[in-house]
Chain A
Amino acid sequence: MGRAEPALAFAVALGLALTLQAAGQTAKKEKDGKWELPDGTPTYNIASDGAVDWYTFSGFRRYHSECHVCHGPDGEGSTYAPGLIESMKTTSYPDFMLVVASGREIVRADKQSVMPALGDNANVMCYIDDIYIYLKARSDGALPRGRPAKRAEKPEAADRHEKACFGSK
């Protein structure tokens, strides 16, 4: 029984986390076309007709330019790098930022996996929220594979952010 308890506790915690997340999705707020959870974490929004918010769409595009040559189409993984659907379920927004910016290395006799540090890469870092939002939508099962068929227009705020981000380089 002693062994089962942590597992049980974990399951309860996970259930709680999922409930909170679902609750979070209902409590999310929109500002300038971008959605965020009550704690400020950026998130996706998918309308009843399947139209995604701009950032989810932008994340789809940037993911398939910068990330998919290793992690495969739609975050599904490849023979080269792991899928992200499962791992994004337990990766917090700050942890995600950290791994993308600083990279991660697993070098063993049987396996050399190296995630590059992308902190200097404006094509990634200027869209880091977009990529996070997209992968979260995939990971939550809210967004099917493939290119979103419908999307919101690009908000002015996204344009401003883009110019400021690339201009600062």
Chain B
Amino acid sequence: MHRHALAGASLVLIALATPGTANQDVLQQTAKPEQWVLQTGDYSNQRYSKLDQITRDNVKNLKVAWTFSTGVLRGHEGSPLVVGSTMYVHTPFPNIVYALDVNEEGKILWKYEPKQDPSVIPVMCCDTVYRGVAYADGTIYLHQADTTVVALDAKTGKEKWKAVNGDPKKGETNTATVLPVKDKVIVGISGAEFGVRGHVTAYDAKTGRRVWRAYTLGPDNEMLVDPEKTTSLGKPIGRDSSLKTWTGEQWKIGGGTAWGWFSYDPETNLFYYGTANPSTWNPVQRAGPDGKPIDQKWTMSLFARDVDTGMARWIYQMTPFDEWDYDGVNENILVDLNVGGQKRKALVHFDRNGLAYTLDRVTGELLVAAKYDPKVNWTTGVVMDKNSPQYGRPQVVKEFSTFQTGQDKNTKGVCPAALGTKDQQPAAFSPRTNLFYVPTNHVCMDYEPFRVSYTAGQPYVGATLSMFPAPGSHGGMGNFIAWDASEGKIVWSKPEKFSVWSGALATAGGVVFYGTLEGYLKAVDEKDGRELFKFKTPSGIIGNVMTFSHGGKQHVAVLSGIGGWAGIGLAAGLTNPTDGLGAVGGYAGLRDYTALGGTLTVFTLP
């Protein structure tokens, strides 16, 4: 029952450094394994629980304890929270929040339903999903689809304050959870498919007053970067790093939104997040003045920023000049690891582009970059030689470059598809095995870019793509894998019929949980991925599995409710171009397995 070393040490440091802040409250609350107070489990995003009552031997006996219908049909991402004996459940648009009494199998203590203009619905690219509320200091923080940030009294559901973060008329919306940290709440933005210029913003946790905003792209002062002190791959980024890597004023509608997860390291006072694709999806339209690829900084990048000032400490761009919609927003898991025989304060990131990165989270040094699906083909890998001018950059394979193939031409067989080898569905880390458990997509695509024009508040896409299961593999569209981030190697891989679009949970009982798009909650052995238990919930699972303890008993809970991009792309089934003209291959359509409906299912041992 060792508390993970990082968080344990951090707790002590923070207790000394900043007494009486939300930061300390969150650290204290997340240190109690019976609770789940952040969507990410804790600041390090490990999604590991010390609860060990449910074991590899008894998990087969899991039974449904109680269920709860959310009353909303759309895709349900994220997970419930448990604080004390209260469970907080959120929904997709209209973003209802329920406080449920765990003592009474989910009796409703209060319900908060914001009023939002339904015109926000079609501005959300890929369903009205929401990845959930956060808790700190007696407050529930909600970030609505229309970008209104609301602080609710956790006991009563009464509004404490509200702030408006963006403008849906310009395509700015929200799907992400917030990061309550110290005396602030840090929030992101969605809308790169609408030409939104991405940013993260900090609000005062007590009042809702805006403290700072940091853009992904544009002038240095608006990005909150210091040309001398902010580094990338160990070197200062220099003046106008973003402006110099865009043609003209394209950066103003350049995307790079921040719609993923946040993690935080109290020791460095840095928080970590990734940025989305450059707009449009047509790379030809984004080429440099000389007609050649240009980096479009700092889209597709990992940022480490100071919580107090928002200033960037380091940045790393995974996919310069994106040609495939490989957003860099996936979670950053903070773990101390041995890499190359050295103990490193690491950050592990499974990118949409199919590469898993291990970096030093203090300095931003790149330690490992490796494919976590062997089918990834758009790159031969990342140059690790520090003396090379290509250091840290992925090497693009000409055949799969949608830019080199060109506008109005179809680039065929690119792996992964725009869905990424993994999308936002977060991985888990177990300190018992030192392995990462990663829900993945096993889908490839044809991609054809073409010219589009920009209109505020309208889609700004500029490519057509068709997706199909990775050829020459098991025929399924997903894998659930175990990953060694020190070596950059897959340890085991469990094939799935559909993409695994559910966040994983690792536990001290040796059991790892995830959900499937057909609706199964699955439990597997941390050692080898052997399936120990499955249960079919009422709808497909795109939510994340969480665990808590109540009345001395460990519970596992998950939201079902099919939707999101998975539901849009896979509902009708995929076609395989290699099967001949328009043939629908043997690839099952999700609509033959599941239908809409938001339900919470809570499990425990009898």
Q: Do A and B come from one complex?
A: yes
Cβ of A22 under 8 Å from chain B: no
Docked complex Cα distance between A66 and B74 (Å)? 21
In the complex, identify which listed stretch (B352-360, B391-399, B518-526, B567-575) lies at the interface while the others stay far away.
Answer: B567-575
Max count, chain A CB within 10 A of own CB: residue among B281, B465, B467: B465
**B125 close to A69 (CB less than 8 A):** yes
A15 neighbours in B (Cβ, 8 Å) = none
Cβ of B109 under 8 Å from chain A: no
In the complex, how many residue pairs between chain A and chain B have their CB atoms under 8 Å apart? 135
For the complex formed, measure the closest distance between the CB of A62 and the CB atoms of chain B, giving whole angstroms.
8
Cβ of B458 under 8 Å from chain A: yes
Docked complex Cα distance between A116 and B466 (Å)? 23
Q: Count of chain B residues with Cβ under 8 Å from any Cβ of A?
A: 52
Docked complex Cα distance between A103 and B121 (Å)? 12
Docked complex Cα distance between A64 and B466 (Å)? 8
With A66-B459, A70-B122 in contact, is A79–B75 under 8 Å at CB?
Answer: yes
**B582 close to A83 (CB less than 8 A):** no
In the complex, identify which listed stretch (A6-14, A26-34, A87-95, A105-113) lies at the interface while the others stay far away.
Answer: A105-113
**A78 close to B572 (CB less than 8 A):** yes
**A73 close to B577 (CB less than 8 A):** no
Docked complex Cα distance between A64 and B493 (Å)? 32
For the complex formed, measure the closest distance between the CB of B390 and the CB atoms of chain A, giving whole angstroms.
32
Cβ of B410 under 8 Å from chain A: yes
A147 neighbours in B (Cβ, 8 Å) = 410, 446, 466, 577, 582
Cβ of B581 under 8 Å from chain A: yes
Scan residues 34-85 of chain A and give those whose CB is less than 8 A from a CB of chain B.
50, 60-66, 68-70, 72-74, 76-80, 83
Secondary structure at the B interface, as helix, strand, loop or mixed, is loop
Cβ of A5 under 8 Å from chain B: no
For the complex formed, measure the closest distance between the CB of B263 and the CB atoms of chain A, giving whole angstroms.
29
Docked complex Cα distance between A64 and B446 (Å)? 12
Residue from the list A63, A103, A169 in contact with B453, Cβ < 8 A: A169
Q: Which residue of B lies closest to A120 (CB)?
A: B455
**A144 close to B581 (CB less than 8 A):** yes
A120 neighbours in B (Cβ, 8 Å) = 455, 458
Docked complex Cα distance between A123 and B571 (Å)? 26
**A79 close to B563 (CB less than 8 A):** yes
Max count, chain A CB within 10 A of own CB: residue among B458, B465, B569: B458
Q: Which residue of A lies closest to B119 (CB)?
A: A114
B577 neighbours in A (Cβ, 8 Å) = 146-147
Cβ of B383 under 8 Å from chain A: no
B74 neighbours in A (Cβ, 8 Å) = 79-80
Write the B114-133 contact mask toward A (1 if CB under 8 angstroms, else 0).
00001101110111000000
**B582 close to A80 (CB less than 8 A):** no
Can you list 13 A-B contacts (CB < 8 A)?
A: A64-B464, A65-B464, A72-B568, A73-B467, A78-B567, A78-B572, A79-B590, A112-B94, A114-B121, A123-B455, A143-B582, A144-B581, A146-B466
Residues of B within 8 A of A (CB): 71, 73-75, 93-94, 118-119, 121-123, 125-127, 193, 281, 410, 446, 448, 450, 452-453, 455, 458-467, 562-564, 567-569, 571-575, 577, 581-584, 590-591, 596
